[in-house]
Amino acid sequence: MKELRNSVCIVGVDESDEIGILPNKSQLTLHLEAVSNAVRDAGLTIGDVDGVFTAGQHSPALLGEALGIRPRYVDGTTVGGCSFIIMVGHAVAALHHGLCDVAVISHGESGRSGVGVTRSRDTSLSGQFEFPYGFGGAPTYFGMITTRHMHVYGTTLEQWAQVAVSTRKWAALNPKARMREPITVDDVLKSRPVSYPFNLLNICLVTDAGGAVVLTRADRAKDCAKPPVYVRGAGEATEHVMVTQMGDLTFSESTRMSGEKAFAMAGVTHRDFNHLMFYDAFTSGPPLMLEALGFARRGEGVRFFEEGRSTPGGTLPINTNGGGLSYTHSGMYGIFPIIEATRQLRGECGARQVPGARVSLVNGMGGMLSAAGTLVLSNDSSR
Amino acid sequence: MEADRPLPSPITPEARPFWDGLREGKLLLPRCGACGHVFFYPRILCPRCHARDVGWMQASGKGRLHAFEISHQTFNRAWKIPPPYVLAMIELAEGPRMMSNLINVTPDPKAIRCDMPVEIVFTKITDEVTLPLFQPGSPR
């Protein structure tokens, strides 16, 4: 994997024209807006794209058809919301070996309004072994991981609430974030109970949104419109699908494996990062990811939030776009932390810019910590 | 009999003995004939040693509450039981974990703790389907 280090760059990123609640836009429109915006951000055209990567309901073949191109490389890996993060690693391999020259990873999801959405058929075993007991929505599963963590490590509802508070502080600085009013720990604890241990403010938003990322080889990236962001490391893994099958509910093995692969490819240690992006479907997610990736000892990930390290002005900013908790969460959120890390490394983030951002981590989960993808991104290829 | 909750669907052929056993008041679990591993959910090979020699054993119905949630909002239209109710992950005495409900308990985090002992309550839902629900119980 080391030969792939810095061989490919992110050269274009963007959201759909709007994100939020969009009852007049189909899922496919969200895709097409995001792709055309991201390609323009790169200084390229849709006609330059010859590799199409997408996860979710629409296949890469449909996206190619709708874009009016004939891709010579496609990838439809769908392992949950981190699929787009995992696809960056796949795109690096494909671009490095010349299987395509310009790759686009696209996400479009009418997760709130359900416009142009096919009712998907569930092929998991949940219908047989989980739904008869009232399981169904994501909160009914991730809470299991959370109550076990609270039992083993003594983590508390007040601590999880700190994650929502920190993330909202960043959202207040992002004009595109949906929820920008400051909140307190008390606000989180008093918000509507959904599924103990989660109240409403512990849970991500449900929105309509698209996002896309454009990649090309480093030699070609120099000719693009914006400074290149190097993919220095990438890793992926899957462990389980149903939470009952997870080895240790308090420790994500897929996250650990993906991180170790990405760090080894990148040749970095924890101290090298200035900025972290995690998939925050629930407030307890980022602390568990910090633990699985080795940024914190087991049970102590939440201290990053409690002690203010994660917040604006903190020593290790986390989820600077406002996260799935406060910026947007269409369903498969994984494209958005890549977009934010790229913007931070380009210095485009205005009020929320992390000063001197040089190396960013992107880590996301698919399902309930079932799958994981980790990226090490940098604006500097010198080491 | 009208069900107040989603029925298991689809019941897969490899899991049929599990569902048939419940109807007769028995909790049957898959056990590997090669390495002795007891596991859940039913499948045609052992997830530990990967041998294709899977039989069945009758479990004790005892276990511990591995993790839980208290639902205040229903996520499935076929679920008719009013909240709050307790979603439970059970760790059976024989080793494997399964999802269920914790019943006959106050749905309050003060009354419920991880690792509390639980025991099975065979709960007839329809003539075809009996579910393995659990209640607070003795450790063994």
Burial A280-295 (b: 16+ CB within 10 A, else e): bbbbbbbbbbbbbbeb
Q: Which pTM value belongs to this model?
A: 0.97
| Spatial contact of A303 and A296, defined as CB atoms under 8 Å apart | yes
Nearest alpha-carbon partner for A329 in A196, A134, A167 = A167
* pLDDT value of residue A233: 98
- Is residue B87 scored above 90 in pLDDT? yes
What percentage of chain A has pLDDT greater than the value 90?
96
Which amino acid belongs to residue A289? M
- A197 CB neighbours in chain B (<8 A) are 69, 109
- B75 CB neighbours in chain A (<8 A) are 134-137, 139-140
Helix/strand/coil for B73: coil
Mean pLDDT value of segment A69-92: 97
- Asked if the C-beta of A61 comes within 8 angstroms of chain B's C-beta atoms, the answer is no
* pLDDT value of residue A118: 82
CB atoms within 10 A of CB A157: 18
| Sheet strands (E) in chain A | 8-15, 51-54, 73-75, 102-110, 193-196, 198-199, 208-217, 229-238, 275-278, 359-366, 371-378
- Is residue B140 scored above 70 in pLDDT? no
- Is residue B2 scored above 90 in pLDDT? no
pLDDT range class, residue A221, cuts 50, 70, 90: very high
Helix/strand/coil for A317: coil
Inter-chain touch A132–B97, beta carbons under 8 Å: no
- Asked if the C-beta of B131 comes within 8 angstroms of chain A's C-beta atoms, the answer is yes
- Asked if the C-beta of A68 comes within 8 angstroms of chain B's C-beta atoms, the answer is no
Distance from CA of A368 to the nearest CA of B (A): 14
pLDDT range class, residue A58, cuts 50, 70, 90: very high
CB atoms within 10 A of CB B32: 20
Judging by beta carbons within 10 Å of its beta carbon (0-12, 13-18, 19+), is residue B104 exposed, middle or buried? Answer: exposed
Mean pLDDT of chain B: 96
Inter-chain touch B87–A134, beta carbons under 8 Å: yes
- Is residue A180 scored above 70 in pLDDT? yes
* pLDDT value of residue A347: 98
CB pairs under 8 A between A and B: 120
* CA A113 – CA A107 distance, rounded (Å): 16
Interface with chain B: mutation pick from A146, A147, A189, A246, highest number of B CBs within 10 Å: A147
- B129 CB neighbours in chain A (<8 A) are 132
- Is residue A50 scored above 70 in pLDDT? yes
H/E stretch holding B132: strand B130-136
* pLDDT value of residue B139: 58
* pLDDT value of residue A211: 98
pLDDT range class, residue B1, cuts 50, 70, 90: low
* pLDDT value of residue B132: 98
Residue with tokens 């010198």: A382
Cα(first)–Cα(last) distance of chain B, in Å? 34
- What digits encode the pLDDT tens for the residues B34-71? 999 999 999 999 999 999 999 999 999 999 999 999 99
Inter-chain touch B72–A135, beta carbons under 8 Å: no
Among A121-125, B16-20, B61-65, whose mean pLDDT is lowest?
Answer: A121-125
* CA A63 – CA A57 distance, rounded (Å): 11
- Asked if the C-beta of B57 comes within 8 angstroms of chain A's C-beta atoms, the answer is no
pLDDT range class, residue B31, cuts 50, 70, 90: very high
DSSP string across B6-53: PPP-SPPGGGHHHHHHHHTT--EEEEETTT--B-SS--SS-TTT--S-
Inter-chain touch A196–B109, beta carbons under 8 Å: yes
Mean pLDDT value of segment A238-249: 97
* pLDDT value of residue B63: 98
How far is Cα of residue B55 from the mean position of the Cα atoms in its chain?
18
Mean pLDDT of chain A: 96
Distance from CA of B23 to the nearest CA of A (A): 15
* CA A70 – CA A269 distance, rounded (Å): 40
Q: Which of A132, A143, A197 sits opposite B7 (nearest CB)?
A: A132
- Is residue A156 scored above 70 in pLDDT? yes
Which amino acid belongs to residue A337? P
Q: Which of A127, A135, A152 sits opposite B87 (nearest CB)?
A: A135
- Is residue A12 scored above 90 in pLDDT? yes
- Asked if the C-beta of B138 comes within 8 angstroms of chain A's C-beta atoms, the answer is no
- Is residue A287 scored above 80 in pLDDT? yes
Mean pLDDT value of segment A305-313: 97
- The rounded radius of gyration (Å) of the Cα atoms in chain A is 19
- Is residue A207 scored above 70 in pLDDT? yes
β-bridge partners, A210: A108
